[in-house]
Amino acid sequence: MMLVQFVGTVAYLFLLARLFSRLRATHTPVWESLGSPSLLPKNNLRYDRRVQRWLWAKGYSGLGDPEAISLAGTVRMLHFTLMANFGVLVLLSVLFVLAQSHIPSNR
């Protein structure tokens, strides 16, 4: 399950970079309105929130560019899937620790 999370994260970052590149090249005003996003951290939470809000609100649906819309939709779904998978990993880890603490030791 951790391998799935790792591979999914790599795929997410690759697709996100492609989306940012496409927005910069073909939808410059949108890219600028999102804070000119890139994969390199800008230490700016507003920029991250803008991009996430744009994805979750499906702000990309009005681009009129089927490839960009499809790419953004894929990034959005992959992000949701990775968040859900991470939640499951945390839950399973907690359950594992709790189960281990209730197993009697044979001394």
Write the single-letter amino acid at 84. A
Query: What secondary structure letter does DSSP report for 24?
Result: H
CA nearest neighbour of 74 among 85, 62, 84, 66: 66
Average pLDDT over residues 33-47: 76
Residues 34, 11: Cα–Cα separation, whole Å: 22
What is the reported pTM? 0.82
Domain ranges of the chain: 2-82
Q: What pLDDT, in 10s, does the model give residues 78-105? A: 999 999 999 999 999 999 988 888 777 6
